[in-house]
Each structure stands twice: as structure tokens, then as C-alpha cells.
Structure 1
């Protein structure tokens, strides 16, 4: 399989994303027009999956420009399971954006959120350092004991998706490390500390790595839900931000970063 640079891989992966419908956590697809925030002010605290960093930083800046009375506190990014635990344990947050439905369900089941809505989808790619020193060209190559492979830990969305993909394709991998978020996996690959890793298509955009879409990736799609939290200190701003993410302006940013539609 011929390797492509990261942007090409992300575009190819995005074309594989399925417009899945029907789930217990999330409701209807994203809105097509941007919301109007009326009277929103004060600080807004957002907890978001690590894979959302580039897109949500851009969205937060645009949201702040359109809502000058709202101060978006620097967004907290981490693995969705870590963030869900922190929210359940009482960390102050107004909005939670998860990289999968399972971790949003934890927050919802704890009574911390209601009405979560899907806003994006994502698929996996195999990332390798620039130049591909390990000569990795297929998912099956990750089983080579002579290669250093890093994966996300099973409890975080990228790890759950990675294990599903590997199992579906009959590939057994002994990873050198299991990271708590997808950013850590990509960092090790980009630094040449690993020969390969499984990350999201969106993570390789603009990065100094090479990547390819492995067989079976189209069947393993992460669906991203977002919700304003029940104990939000700023419920008006939280609702406005959620609507902005799901509106046309937020969706344009997400798709520019390689995310698929919800």
C-alpha cells in the first residue's frame, strides 16, 4: 500500500466516515445555520477530547469573537475517559465534548448531563515517522515484533477503536506503550520513538508524519457527542457554545480539520 502524506490520508479517511444514525446518547444531526447567542456572558469552561484540540481552539476563538462578553477559559484537553472521571468527581466545567459515546454515557448516567448531541465523526489511520523507517505499509505489519508500536490505552476512545479494528482484522499487536490520549501516541511517532501508531485521521493533518488508511477503518467510526453539563456555572454560554459547534460555522471548522459529519 502506497503511503500518503498526512493531509491526503486525512482526506481519504474522511471520505470513509459513515453518516450513522440512531443512538441512545445523541439526538439529531448538526444544525445547518449558526446560532445567535443572546445575553451570554461570563466565563465558559470546556472539557474536550484531545483529538479536538486544533479544531476546538479555532472554534473557541471564533465563538469568542462573536460573543465578546463571553470569556472562553483555556480548554481542558485529555482522553475522554479522564475528562469524564474528572467531571463526575466535580471538576468545574460547562461543556463536555467526548470522542465517543461510551464516555459521554458515563457522565449522563451519573446525572451530570442530558441531551447530548452528535457533532462529528472520525476514523483511524496508521501513522509512521517521516520517511517510514520501519517500512510499515499495512495494519498487519504492526504485529511484527521487531517494530516499536504505540497505541492508546483501551479505556480511551482511540484505544477502544484501535482494539476493535485490530480484532476485526485478526491482527495481534504487543504495544511498547499504551498512552492515555491520542496526542501522546502521535507525539511518540513524530519524534521517531515509535515505528507506528494508530491515531485519528484528524490528528495527522499538518503534522510531520506519514499515514495511510488501513483496511477495515471504514467499519470503525468514532462518533463525537457534546453536551452542556447539568451543573454548568454558565448555562447560557454553555448552550450557545454547543449550538455553535453544531451549527454551520463550527461544522466548517471541524470538516476543515478532517472530521466527518455527524
Structure 2
């Protein structure tokens, strides 16, 4: 048995206990192997809304194929892959995380890019205008943990601006950062532009200048290339199609 398959088999039971699955139209169990036209796609949490739309479009184009998604921080997904989570495709929000599981994947493809924005409460009550406002301790700032792609990008942006920010909490994914600000539990945070756009009427977005920004790259790859079902390879290839790029662009993502 190949090393990757053996490791997956050993960890499959444990992984099933931590892998939340959400089908395009609901929830359900997955065989994780792509048989019967069913594919399990593990994707970064910042892709949640866009991939639900992408999934519906793909299923319409490919009758008989059912996509089931598991959304979480990229680092959490990578850990699940290493534990043997039964899945067919992995999509991360950075190259570093994908590289960490390269022994388990096919060749990654960059499918989209994103950028950072400062997110505040609706109406920007603290009048945040720049990264500098996040430093100094006057605001309750929430960031993603450094191991999370958006947390790593945030740390790089703040370091490049020679700023020190002491967050009130470090969250496991970008949607958790967004939620803290939207609920008023923090004054500001750093998220992707697409996440800020997903919460109209709940948060305001403050642009980060290009010179201070970090560009996130999203990579998609099949899991266990030697044994990946053809449907998994087809889905990864489709993510670079004109229709998929249009959906991602409409969701606010930049072209690869």
C-alpha cells in the first residue's frame, strides 16, 4: 500500500471525528474517495461563500457529481490531511500550507488571489483609517493566529509597516476574526477583502494601501495524486475555467 494511502487508512477514523462536511445543498456523509460521483473538497474558510456558488455551478455542468465541502482554516485542513482525513481535493489560502502536505497532493494550481483590508464595526465608530491605528493599544484588535494564512499575511503587513499590535485574541480562521468584529467583541481586525464584502451592513472595510498590503494566493490540488479519482482532477482543472474565474471575480477575488 502506498505511504499516503496507509497513513490515511490509519487516521481515517480519527479524522472523521473532526472533519465537518457540508454539501452544496445540505449536509451528509461522504465516502471520501470520489466513488459514485461524490467528491469531498477541503477548502480555506475564506472560500466558503464563493465555493458554495462554484459547487452549484459545477454540479449543474456535471450531472451525477456531488460536491461536499469542509471549510476551516488552511492549517486545520492540512492537519486533517496528515491525520488521514478522507477527501479528494484540498484548497489552501497560501503556498506555505500546501507545501506542508506536498507528499499527499498532486501538483497545486493557483486559482485566485486576495488582499487584506482592515475591518471595523458598522459605521467605523472608532474612525480607523490605517494600519497605524491598530497599534498603540487604544483599540481592541483581533487577528488570526500566526499559523493561519491570513494571520501570517497580517503579521507580515504589520512588520513591514514597523508596527506592533497586541491583539485581544488570535483566531483559528479568518471568519472567526470577521465574526468578532461584526459582533462588537473587537473594534477592528485584519481579514481578506472578500470576507469583509460578505458581511454588508455588519462591518465596514478600510483599504490597506498596496505598499503595505500582502497578496494571498489560493492553491488547489488533488489529494493522493496516484489514487485520486478522475473527477477530482477534473474539478481542480475546472477551477481555472472561465466560468469558475467569473464566479470568483464576482465574489471579489483577484485573478491568479
Question: Aligning the two structures, in what range does the TM-score lie when normalised by the shorter sequence?
Answer: 0.7 to 0.9
- Whether the aligned pair in 1 keeps the contact of 2:44 and 2:72 (CA below 8 Å) is yes
Residue 165 (structure 1) shift: 0.1
Task: Indicate whether 1:238 and 2:228 are aligned.
Answer: no
- The residue correspondences of 1:36-47 to structure 2 (distance < 5 A) are 41-47=36-42
CA RMSD in angstroms, aligned pairs only: 1.6
Moved over 2 A (4+): 215-219, 231-234
Higher RCO by CA contacts (8 Å cutoff, separation 6 or greater): 1
Rate the CA distance shift 1:217–1:224 in 2: closer, same or farther, 3 A. Answer: farther
Partner of 1:24: none
* 1:34-84 per-position Cα deviation (integer Å, ceiling 9, x unaligned): xxxxxx9521000000000011010011111111211112x1011101101
Instruction: Verify: 1:89 aligned to 2:96, yes or no.
Output: no
- For the pair 1:163 / 2:158, whether they are aligned, the reply is no
Name whichever structure is richer in helix by fraction: 2
Distance of 1:195 and 1:179 partners within structure 2: 15
- Cα gap change, 1:181 to 1:96, in 2 (>3 Å): same
Cα distance in 2, alignment partners of residues 115 and 186 from structure 1: 31
Judge conservation of contact 2:128–2:206 (CA < 8 Å) in 1: no
Q: Which residue of structure 1 lines up, in the alignment, with residue 58 of structure 2?
A: 63
Q: 1:196-211 to 2 correspondence within 5 Å?
A: 196-207=188-199, 208-211=202-205
In structure 2, C-alpha distance between the alignment counterparts of 1:93 and 1:217, rounded to whole Å: 38
Aligned length: 220
Instruction: Give unpaired runs (5+ residues) of structure 1.
Output: 1-39
Question: Which residue in 2 is equivalent to 1:133?
Answer: 125
Kindly state the Cα deviation for residue 114 of structure 1 after the two structures are TM-superposed: 2.2
> What are structure 2's unaligned runs of at least 5 residues?
1-34
Pair 1:50 & 2:45 matched:
yes
Tell me which residue corresponds to 2:3. Answer: none
Partners of 1:126 and 1:214 within 8 A in 2: yes
With the length of structure 2 as denominator, give the TM-score of the two structures.
Answer: 0.82
TM-score (norm 1): 0.80
- Specify the SS of the correspondent of 1:123: strand
Post-superposition shift, 1:144?
Answer: 3.1
